[in-house]
Amino acid sequence: MLKLQSQSIELSSQDDKGVSVDSEVLSLTGRESPAAAADRAANAAPSHGATAGIVASDDGNPLRAAEDPALAHDWWRTAVIYQVYVRSFADGSGDGTGDLAGVRERLPYLAQLGVDALWFNPWYPSPLADAGYDVADYRDIHPMFGDLRQAEELIAEARELGIRTIIDVVPNHISHEHPWFQEALASEPGSPARERFWFRDGLGEGGDQMPTDWVSSFQGPTWTRTTNADGTPGQWYLHLFTPEQPDLNWNHPDVRHEHEDVLRFWFDRGVAGVRIDSAALPVKDPSFPPLPHDPAPGEHPHLDRDEIHDIYRAWRGVADEYDEPRILVGEVWLADAARFARYLRPDEMHTAFNFEFMTQPWEAQVLRASIERTLTEHRPVGAPATWVLSNHDITRPVTRYGREDTGFAFDRKRFGTSTDLELGTRRARAAALLTAALPGSLYIYQGDELGLPEVELDRSFIEDPMHFRSGGVDPGRDGCRVPLPWSEHGASLGFSAQPSAQPWLPQPAQWSHLSVARQEADPHSMLQLYREALSLRREREDMRTGALTWLDAGPDAIAFRRGATFASITNLGERNVALPGNASVLLASGPLDGTELPPDCTVWLDVEPDPHTSA
C-alpha cells in the first residue's frame, strides 16, 4: 500500500453551514468525545450483521455463498440493495423485453458485484400506464416477464447465492383494469364496490366541476368523471397520479385486509421484504378540503396524515410473523424530519429511502449538511440511514453531475440540457465511494455500476406519462430506463438472448464501450470500482459497524472516519486537498496526485488506529 506523507486531518466541531455535530476538535488519532461515543452506540449497526462467504462458480468467478443463518437477523441494516427494473435488465426470452429468465441468467453477475438483496420494480400484471405502478393483479407476474413459477424459482436461486428479494407494493392506488375498479364502475353510486375508492359527485350546476382543486403528482387534475350506463355524466373518482390509477380508500376494511393478505402471499414465497411506493399518500381527509397554502404538519389533506401509521403498524405485525422477520422499506418524501422519523419507529418500517440526499447538488457544504440531517433524523428511532444516488425516476448521476445544475427536481427537467459526461463520470465515481462509505444500507440502481448516462430519447419512443402530462416539456423518466449493455456487439449489445432482437428502448451505439464485457476487461472501469468498493465494504468491520466521526479537510471536502482505522475523503472543490500522513490508500475513485487528492475524487484510507477509540 502507498504511504502518504502530509498534514493530519482534524475533526470539526461544526460543519460549514453551522450544523452542530457531536465531536471535539481532535487529530486523526485523537480521543473520542463522550457525545460522539453516545452517538456511535446509538447509530452503529449490530456487529452480527449478515456476512457471506466466498465460493467459486463453475467458470471460476467468485460468488458469495448463502450467509450463516445465525448472522442474518439484521442484514438490512448494512445491506447493499440492487434495484432491478426488470423490463430493462436482461432479456432471456429473446423478444427485446427484459424478463425474469434474464435476471436468473445474470444472478452470477449480481453475486460477483457483491449485493445482498435485489429490489424489483412492480412485476405484476398491468396495462403499464405508469411502468407497472398501475397494478391489475398482485398475486401474479406480468406475462411479458414470465410467470409465478419463475418468480418463485428466482427468489430461491438468488437466496442460494446469499441474495434476498424485495418487491414493490403500491398501496395508494391500483390499475383501472383491476377487478375491484371494474366492479365499481359497473355499480351504482353509494354501492359497496365504490366505497373501496373515492367516488364523489361533482360541484356546481350539473356536477361538472371537480370535487377538489388537488394537483396530481404527474401534473394536471386529480379527478376523472365517469359515464353512467345510459351515457349521462356520472360521478368523479380520485387519482393522485394518472386516471388509470384510481386511489384506494384506506378507511375501508377490504382494502386493509387485501393488502395484508398480499404481503403474506409473497412472504410465504420467500420474499424478504417490500418497498412501499408513495408510502405517505394512501390516507386522505374524507371531507376533501381545499389544499391549504402552507399546511401544518399532519394537516395536508392527502399527505402524511396521522392515521397512516395504523396501516404500517399492522403491516409490521404481518412482517414479524415469520421466523426470519420480513422488512418494510418506505418511499417517504417529507421535509419535516420529525414527521419522517415517525415512519421508522420500532413498530413500523425498518428503513426509508433517502431522497433528500439523492437530489442534492455536487457541493460539499450542502451534501455534508444533508448527511448530517439524515443521521440526525434516524438517530431518535434507532433506524439505519439509506444512501442512494439514483433510481428509475431520477436522472442518472453521470449525466446529472456533469450539468451546470447538479441537483435534481422533477419540475426542472428539460430537453436539450447540456452535459459534460467526462466531468459527470469523475464525479459519479467519487459519489459512488462517498455513499458506499456512509453508515447504513446502500442502494444501487441498475446500470449506475456501469456509469451509464441518461439517454435523451426521441419523442416517438417515450412512454412515461410525466412527459405527456407536462405537455411534452418534460422528457420524462424513460431516459434512465434504457436496457443495459452486456456485450460490445449485437443489435441489443447482449441485452437480448436473440442477437438480432431490438430492445424495447433504443440503446446509444456508444454504449458498447460501457458494456459489462468491456468493463470486466478494464481494471480501471466503473464496474471494477464498484466491485472493489463493495468487497471492501463487506470485509471491513469498521465500514459495516463503525460510527461516523467528521474530519476537517477544508470547506470543499467531505471527510469522515468510520471506526478506528477507516477514513474517507471526497474533494468537491477546484483545488487539490492534502492527504494525511501515516495512512495507506485502500481505494480511490481516480488517480491521485502524489500526496494530494485531486478535485472530484474520493479516496478511502486505512489510518492508524486510535488506542482510545473503539470501532
Q: Which residues are catalytic?
A: 277, 321
Nearest to 207 by CA among 190, 191, 227: 227
Cβ-proximal residues to 563 (8 Å cutoff; 6+ apart), any chain: 541, 542, 543, 545, 546, 547, 614, 615
Whether 336 and 297 have beta carbons less than 8 Å apart is answered as yes
In angstroms, what is the C-alpha Rg of the chain? 25
Three-state SS for 374? helix
Show contacts of 141-150: CB within 8 Å, 24+ apart: 141/100, 144/87, 144/95, 144/97, 144/99, 145/86, 145/87, 145/97, 145/98, 145/99, 145/100, 146/99, 146/100, 146/101, 150/100, 150/101, 150/104
DSSP string, 513-568: GGSHHHHHT-TTSHHHHHHHHHHHHHH-HHHHHPPEEEEB--TTEEEEEETTTEEE
- How many CB atoms sit inside 10 A of residue 334's CB? 20
Place of cell 432479456: 91
SS3 call for 41: helix
Report the C-alpha gap between 114 and 105 in whole angstroms: 16
Q: 184: buried, middle or exposed (CB in 10 Å: 19+, 13-18, 0-12)?
A: buried
Q: Assess contact for 110 and 434: CB atoms under 8 A.
A: no
Label residue 612 exposed, middle or buried (CB < 10 Å: 0-12, 13-18, 19+): exposed
| Side-chain-facing half-sphere of 551: CA atoms under 13 Å | 30
Nearest Cα to Cα of residue 107 among 117, 121, 94: 117
**Residue with grid cell 417529507, as numbered in its chain:** 334
- How far is it, in rounded angstroms, from Cα 163 to Cα 103? 13
Q: Which amino acid is at 307?
A: E
